[in-house]
Every structure is written in C-alpha cells, then in structure tokens.
Structure 1
C-alpha cells in the first residue's frame, strides 16, 4: 500500500511540475489533474493507510474521554 501511495504522490507532483515548466496547450490540464489527484486519490489513500487498525472512539470527545482529560489535568497540578 505504501508503494502505491508513493507512486500516486510522485505522479501528482510530477504532473504539477511539468504543467508549470513546459509550455504546451494542455499544461493547465496537467496542473489540474495533479491537484485533483492529490486531493481525491492521494489524501484518501494516505488517510486510510494511516488510520487502519485504530479505534476512532479514542479520538472522539465523549464523556469518558473528557473525564480522562480532567483527571490528567488534576494529576499535573
């Protein structure tokens, strides 16, 4: 998975750089395709890869997590 993510990232960045450096009629399409690839392909793949196997409830603000944070603040003082 990490090689696919790396390949997509390199392809998107290359597309953006080539779009800026080469003066052809479709250079704006290269830049736009690179940006769309970053936002609609790379970022979701990267987010899925990094969050795989984690419990989302650990990162949500619930009553239990608020109580844990308050207890930690009391212990620090």
Structure 2
C-alpha cells in the first residue's frame, strides 16, 4: 500500500506540473489536466492515504470520551471550571 501511495503521489504531482506547464504555454487543455489532477488527489489519493494511516488504529483513542468523563466528574464534585 505504501508503494501504491508513493506511485500515485508521483503520478499526480507529475500530471499537475504538466498541466501548469501546458497552461503556461497558452493551451486551454492545461486547465482540464489540472482539474483532473486535483480531483484525483481529492477522491483517490486522500481516501487511500487516510485508510492506510488509520487501518490498525483504535478510533476511541481519537475521541473526547475520556475528557468528557473527567469533565463530568469534576463538575459533579464541585472542583470543575463550571
């Protein structure tokens, strides 16, 4: 998966730079290439990257459940900020 992500990043970066190069030369197809590259980043690369980074993680570590419990306990005991 890591190599697929690196390969996609290189391909997308290459097509994006090619699109800017073509656009700079006055061709209107450069804008289409830039748009397709941005869509590829948004809808192909980013979901794959997010899946790769979080596939073995516990999602409860990224929530505020522990913080909310501590805040409720402090507010019940009267030592809280509320």
Shorter-chain TM-score tier? 0.7 to 0.9
Gaps of 5+ in 2: 72-82
Question: Helix, strand or coil: the match of 1:45?
Answer: helix
1:68 shift after superposition:
6.3
Task: Tell me the residue number matched to 1:13.
Answer: 13
Task: Tell me the residue number matched to 1:4.
Answer: 4
Task: Tell me the residue number matched to 1:55.
Answer: 58
Q: How many residues are matched?
A: 67
8 Å Cα contact 1:16-1:34 kept in structure 2: yes
Once residues 70 and 62 of structure 2 are traced to their aligned partners in structure 1, the CA distance between those partners, rounded to angstroms, is 12
Give the CA RMSD over aligned residues.
1.7
In our comparison, the structure showing a higher alpha carbon Rg is: 2
Give me the TM-score of the superposition, normalised by structure 1: 0.77
Bigger shift: residues 20-29 or 52-61: 20-29
Task: Tell me the residue number matched to 1:43.
Answer: 46
Question: Which of structures 1 and 2 has the larger relative contact order (alpha carbons within 8 angstroms, sep 6+)?
Answer: 1
Moved over 6 A (4+): none
